[in-house]
Amino acid sequence: MKKGKKLYEGKAKIIYSTSDKNLIIQYFKDDATAFNNQKKSTIEGKGVINNRISEHILLSLSEIGIKNHLIKRLNMREQLVKLVDIIPIEFVVRNIATGSLTKRLGIEDGTVLEKPLIEYCLKDDKLGDPLISREHITTFNWLDSANLDFIDKNLKRLNDYLLGMFRAVGIKLVDFKVEYGFTHESGKKEIILADEISPDTCRLWDVITDKKLDKDRFRKNLGDLIPAYTEVAKRLGILHEQSNITAVNVTKLSSIKKKK
Ligand code: TMP
Ligand code: ASP
């Protein structure tokens, strides 16, 4: 599989073509952004950990029949994935109220929701990814109602599975954002999960202390992002001795750099 030219550079990832027209390479950068790119930084080692965590989660999803774009991880920062036409909607699932939900509706931070809440946002940075309703989605033909029903069901299954997976390692899955796309393979258009699932795209709190183990550490200037992401990877049983040492070195490296 030969790596081709850069097709697209996003805020946290770069996409490259490959010698197979249906496959692309997804490269995880160390860049962190928040509030629609208004806050930016580079956090050394973040891309490496997210690559591993997302690989772990997407592989387990394949095992339970939640179809996704991952073919395999290629190296520390890259994955071979299926090319999809991304649906221009960010699908957010919430189990506990926090973040934009609390600001928008005045719901108390930390309120446990009686059932998972699904929200849709239009994927458009220029507009600030505005919240949209099901009616907007069907009116503007971003997706038809049958496909939207399919995704809603998929999101509920995904949420159930992820809740259990994180709960088993002492982590509350507060909320997450995912993206879906249409595959190109053999003329058959199928909706599959794409992008990534990592502490960049989920809110993860320790079950006992409620310590934030996700990108809120960056958004809220809490510091220690790499140790938090490493903690998630360790609890999920991903980091082995060797990569564990790498993560620790990365932490030391970034603190040395900051001191300079
Ligand atoms: P929010 O509370 O800021 O709307 O975020 C909800 C969830 O979506 C949270 O887990 C963070 C994630 N998210 C992204 O992955 N990318 C984004 O651009 C935004 C705004 C949120
Ligand atoms: N990734 C988004 C951005 O930079 C926002 C976020 O994750 O909070 O704009």
25-34, 90-99, 145-154, 184-193: which range is least confident on average?
A: 184-193
Ligand of minimum distance to the alpha carbon of 35: 2
77-91, 113-127, 232-246: which range is least confident on average?
A: 232-246
Tell whether the model's pLDDT for residue 78 goes beyond 50. yes
Task: Return the closest-CA partner of residue 242 out of 76, 83, 12.
Answer: 76
- Any idea which residue has 């029949």 for tokens? 65
Distance from the alpha carbon of residue 43 to the mean position of ligand 2, in angstroms: 15
- Any idea which residue has 């790498």 for tokens? 246
Q: Where along the chain do its domains lie? A: 3-84+225-252, 85-206
Q: Could you please state the CATH topology (level 3) that the domain comprising 85-206 is classified under.
A: D-amino Acid Aminotransferase; Chain A, domain 1 (3.30.470)
The mean pLDDT of 242-247, rounded to a whole number, is: 47
Fill in the DSSP letter of residue 107.
P
The mean pLDDT of 155-172, rounded to a whole number, is: 98
Angle at 8 between CA 80 and CA 213, to 5 degrees: 65
pLDDT digits (tens, 9 = 90+) for 167-212: 999 999 999 999 999 998 777 789 999 999 999 999 999 999 999 9
pLDDT digits (tens, 9 = 90+) for 6-47: 999 999 999 999 999 999 999 999 999 999 999 999 999 999
Ligand 1 nearest-atom number relative to CA 36: 18
Q: Is 37 in the pocket of ligand 2 (CB under 6 A)?
A: yes
Residue 257 pLDDT grade (very low, low, confident, very high; cuts 50, 70, 90):
very low
Phi, psi of 218 (to 5 degrees): -80, -50
Task: Return the closest-CA partner of residue 51 out of 32, 70, 24, 23.
Answer: 70
Distance of CA 232 to the CA centre of its chain: 14
The class of domain 3-84+225-252 in CATH terms is alpha beta
Distance from the alpha carbon of residue 187 to the mean position of ligand 2, in angstroms: 34
